[in-house]
Structure 1
Amino acid sequence: MYRIFIVEDDDKIGGILKANMEKYGFEVRRAERFKELLAEFIDYDPHLVLLDINLSYFDGFYWCRQIRTRSNVPIIFISARAGEMDQVMAIENGGDDYVAKPIHLDLLMAKVRGALRRVYGEYAAGTPGLGVGSGTASGDLEANGLTLYLSRNELEWQGKRVELTKNELLLAECFLRRPEHVVSREELLEALWDDVQFVDDNTLTVNVTRLRKKLEELGVVKAIETVRGQGYKLVLSDIEKGAEA
């Protein structure tokens, strides 16, 4: 049974969300210690978090960053703040998805189920797939010395590693399965979200930018190229040359 952690300080909304999740068979806990949310999160060890932005003491962006220091659990923001910048901030601070209030419960459930399938179910990273990237016995992916460890959410190059968020991992998997080939924006959006029609195109751009930054931390610069009107391409042929330079 999947455990859902609801971080919502409005009792009415929190109660509705809890009852709806339990109706579908989830185990649910509502946050109570809004000054100690990280400790409560660690204690409950949920499979997914529903996180409001406007909270007592510290906002949801702060707590999302704190959770990300300990876990890559899927985090879906739920907020009355429906502006584009709020959604960008949610992704930038480590969130995986965003649902604006008033909440459409069917849409929220679709997003919850989709996130759980991607992380723990049939769509989880490591599921065999087609592509030209070379695999290892453990299902990890490697191309030109760049290795993606699917089970550990890590990317490695020349002995240096960085930890990836779930969205960064999913994007990296798409690229490493088809290095040197264009991956369309539609393919990438479908890998990240089940309900593509509800996703702002800018959200994908933000996630790709975050993955680029992780690659730069490894010393892999300008490896993800934007192909205008088509999508993105992972170019690895000049990685070693760039390192020597």
Structure 2
Amino acid sequence: MEAQNLLINYRWREDLLNDQEIKKNLQQGRNLVIIKDFPLDDEELETFISRLGIAVNEIRNNKGKAIFDVKIARLNNFFTSIANSNLEFPLHTDCADFDVIPNVIGLLCAEPADQNEGTSNFMFLHTLLDHLSQDEVQKLSEKKWKFRNRQRSILQIENRTYTICYDRITMESFSKLNPDEIEELNKLDALFKRFSFSIKLEKGDLILFRNDLLLHGRDKININSQRLLKRIRFSIDNFS
């Protein structure tokens, strides 16, 4: 899939950014929004996001702050999270185990990975739905999976629109899956990979995308990589 056809491009210094236009694009959720040359400043990022929606302050891993540094970090020789590791991060939904899942993610590239590493990967739900039978959609909508302390289906209907919730790492970490369930998830992962596309973020790229209408992940990076993304999760209403 050609990634450029799925991007709506802006440039911070050259374009007069229209917040409502960007918000409308995110509400429609069929593209990713990318803003080039965005300032590498946390306050500027928070101020901009506040004009689009309501940011989530991350209590669990970020001391209640809205902006989280996605970089390689260890505590007592262990990675503090998979996001803070050099490992491949499979396609997933952020916050799949939260009470309320934020529906938009922003990633600001402050320091890119080396040229052939750390590529960001995405898969749109609407592309997946185009290749599923009605029976398959119904099964994914009905079966509940455990996301830490919450039971959720992978596909859900909200405002007459399908949404997706998937995080295999969490699903396998908090429940014992039987062989049939493992095979089911293996087939899903193969489908996700088949319909995925990649984007190599450059310094100053701010990419905004729907957390409930697509999955995202990244390729493996070198253990000594200086890659740094500024992540902010937020929610917008789904009505123009």
TM-score (normalizing by structure 1) = 0.35
The structure with more helix, counted as a fraction of residues? 1
Max radius of gyration: which structure?
Answer: 1
Normalised to the residue count of structure 2, the TM-score between the two structures is 0.35
Structure that is richer in strand per residue: 2
